[in-house]
């Protein structure tokens, strides 16, 4: 099941120039046992980004305006670049080389790095992901959402209703007197008597001929009413189908989210146990030691050590950058 969330204020361009295929979509699963194992370790129910089959060394560009908040080694993501935008963050992972530095301002289309296969990558490619500011960390994808709806999103333009097509209606014409042609001459010669108007019978026929050629408006109205009725019936059917699909997807999503949370909790417990064993062997460790030992991010290592210290399982020495931990 694919977790979807639509945000109106996100607009992206592809993070590269040229035509390269998406090889692993957001929410996809894999039969590869190594990839399955990684998904379980990370606590995700499916792929939390889009992979593109870029040859190593392909130039990568910013997908939107923003500020670089991370550049360099990033655990399983290898060398990566993270950009903060007004709506959230975009991530470019498994790079060969970063071309930007932290706190650098970038514009959409600026060069930010070269694609590669560093970190936990299974071949050369780009892993691209986005995370909104108010991300739901328990959505089964660590807060990331599907980027694909936001690529080259066009501006919405009002749609003008189509003009009804008027079909000519043929109406049988009343026969005219022999002295009037079927084409109705511009000036009809009407026999008159001095001081008298034309005979009423001939005038009525001329008026009838002129009126009968007008298009009856009620026919157009009838067509429009029929179209409206059909449109309303179609909308009701679509809403009912969408409701049933949404209910089924929500049930499946809740189940996968539960499994992901359980896997994430177990992974955290295993890492805490590993840290305790590691500290007993090394006697004294720093935040960098744990980061390199578990191949996790700096912030995650810091959170683990803080939790163990607060629970009394480790002792904290020093403050700020010089903090060390002992058993």
Q: Which DSSP helix (H) or strand (E) runs through 164?
A: none
Cα–Cα distance measured from residue 79 to residue 70, given in angstroms and rounded to the nearest whole number: 10
Sequence spans of domains, the chain: 22-150, 225-326
Q: How far apart are the first and last CA of the chain?
A: 44
Q: In the CATH hierarchy, which top-level class contains the domain 225-326?
A: mainly alpha
DSSP secondary structure letters along 98-149: E---TT-EE-TT-EEEEEB--SS-SSSBEEEEEEETT--TTSSSTT-B--GG
Render each residue's pLDDT in the chain as its tens digit; 327 residues.
444 555 667 889 999 999 999 999 999 998 888 888 888 888 898 999 999 999 999 999 999 999 999 999 999 999 999 999 999 999 999 999 999 999 999 999 999 999 999 998 888 999 999 999 988 888 889 999 999 999 974 343 444 445 555 555 554 554 544 444 444 444 444 444 444 444 444 444 444 444 444 444 444 444 454 555 555 555 556 777 778 888 888 888 788 878 878 888 888 899 999 999 999 998 999 988 988 898 888 778 888 888 998 999 999 887 656 788 998
CATH number for 22-150: choose from 2.40.160.10, 1.10.3720.10, 2.60.120.10, 2.70.70.10. Answer: 2.70.70.10
The residue whose two tokens read 């991300």 is 135
Beta-bridge partner residues of 22: 52
């Amino acid at each position: 099941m694919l977790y979807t969330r639509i945000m109106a204020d996100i607009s992206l361009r592809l993070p590269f120039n040229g035509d390269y295929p998406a090889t692993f979509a957001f929410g996809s699963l894999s039969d590869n046992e190594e990839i399955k194992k990684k998904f379980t370790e990370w606590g995700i129910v499916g792929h939390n980004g889009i992979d593109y089959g870029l040859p190593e060394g392909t130039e990568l560009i910013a997908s939107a305006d923003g500020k670089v908040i991370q550049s360099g080694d990033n655990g399983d993501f290898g060398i990566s670049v993270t950009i903060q935008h007004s709506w959230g963050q975009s991530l470019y992972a498994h790079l060969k080389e970063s071309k930007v530095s932290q706190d650098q301002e970038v514009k959409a289309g600026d060069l930010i790095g070269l694609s590669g296969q560093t970190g936990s990558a299974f071949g050369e490619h780009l892993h691209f992901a986005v995370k909104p500011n108010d991300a739901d960390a328990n959505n089964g994808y660590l807060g990331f959402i599907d980027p694909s709806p936001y690529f080259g999103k066009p501006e919405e333009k009002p749609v003008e209703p189509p003009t009804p097509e008027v079909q000519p209606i043929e109406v049988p014409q009343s026969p005219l007197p022999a002295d009037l042609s079927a084409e109705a001459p511009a000036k009809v010669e009407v026999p008159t008597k001095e001081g008298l108007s034309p005979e009423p019978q001939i005038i009525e026929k001329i008026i009838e001929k002129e009126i009968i050629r007008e298009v009856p408006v009620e026919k157009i109205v009838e067509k429009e009413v029929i179209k409206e009725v059909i449109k309303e019936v179609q909308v009701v059917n679509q809403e009912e189908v969408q409701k049933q699909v949404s209910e089924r997807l929500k049930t499946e999503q809740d189940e996968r989210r539960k499994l992901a949370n359980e896997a994430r909790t177990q992974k955290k417990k295993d890492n805490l146990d590993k840290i305790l064993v590691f500290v007993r062997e090394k006697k004294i460790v720093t935040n960098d030691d744990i980061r390199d030992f578990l191949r996790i991010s700096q912030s995650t290592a810091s959170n683990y050590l803080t939790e163990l210290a607060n629970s009394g399982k480790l002792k904290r020495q020093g403050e700020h950058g010089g903090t060390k931990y002992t058993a």
